[in-house]
Amino acid sequence: MFAVDPLHLAIGLGPLATYLLVMGAINLSSRPLITSGARDAAALAVAVSGLVLAGPMELFMVERAAQFWGGGVWIILLSAYALASLLVILMLRPRLIIYNATLEQLRPLIEEAVGRLDPEARWAGESLVMPQLGVQLHAEAQPVLKNVQLVASGSNQNVAGWRRLETELATVLRRAKTTPNPAGLCWILLGTLAGLTITWYLARDPAGVTQSMSDMLRR
């Protein structure tokens, strides 16, 4: 029978369970939430960090390095993971994500914010060009997740312009209201189930948790 290591289970699922609960709370809100693609990617990197730590990091760890550095080897590995994640995030094209709203609801709000920032802005279908801000984007709706992404079109983008756009959209969205997304209940349910599973396994074998911790730290 397959034996579950409580510590590895907690490390692997803990950050992911927290991420699911936060996403569920966002989707059940009655107001839209805007965030940047960089922050969204960083949150996802944190969510899967436990799975990476309890899986590939430990599986492919060089035993000599673990014996030499002891528990400090995990600081090195986590730092490497953080730097690799940061590199990927910096390479991503600018993007804004608006949770808990449809494109139909957001279109007039986006037009209002854009009108304040760039009178020369023009739409072409779902694409938008803002010459004064140096921003070109297209809107992508995801009805199942009930969010809208404003994704950069092309590599020639003004990062400062994207920041101004995010700030203005956040101001406009403060007075917007929407209906909660029922999918948020699924996120909450999955996050709660993962949290309860972690708690149950940790509580039933505290001695095993201590032993696993000692093994991981190579004490």
What domains, with CATH codes, occur in the chain?
1-92+180-219 (no CATH), 93-179 (3.30.310.80)
More confident residue, 184 or 212: 184
Return mean pLDDT, the chain. Answer: 86
- pLDDT tens string 97-145: 999 888 888 888 988 898 888 888 898 888 989 998 899 999 998 888 8
DSSP state of 29: S
Average pLDDT over residues 160-166: 92
Average pLDDT over residues 141-161: 88
Confidence of residue 166 (pLDDT cuts 50, 70, 90): very high
More confident residue, 210 or 82: 82
**Which residues share a beta bridge with 180?**
none
- pLDDT tens string 11-22: 889 999 999 999
pLDDT at residue 95 in the model: 94
Model confidence at 219: pLDDT above 60? no
- pLDDT tens string 80-102: 899 999 999 999 999 999 998 88
pLDDT at residue 66 in the model: 62
Report the alpha-carbon distance of residue 44 to residue 39 in Å, rounded: 9
Average pLDDT over residues 20-29: 92
Weakest mean pLDDT among 40-44, 52-56, 213-217:
213-217
- pLDDT tens string 173-207: 988 888 888 888 999 999 999 999 999 988 887 88
Residues 6+ apart with CB under 8 A from 142: 148, 149
What burial letters (b/e) apply to 112-141, b meaning 16+ CB within 10 Å? ebbeebbeebeeeeeebbbeebebbbebeb
Report the alpha-carbon distance of residue 108 to residue 106 in Å, rounded: 6
Alpha-helical segments (H) within the chain: 6-27, 37-52, 58-59, 63-69, 72-91, 103-117, 159-173, 183-204, 206-216
Query: What's the pTM?
Result: 0.85
Which percentage of the chain shows pLDDT scores above 90? 41
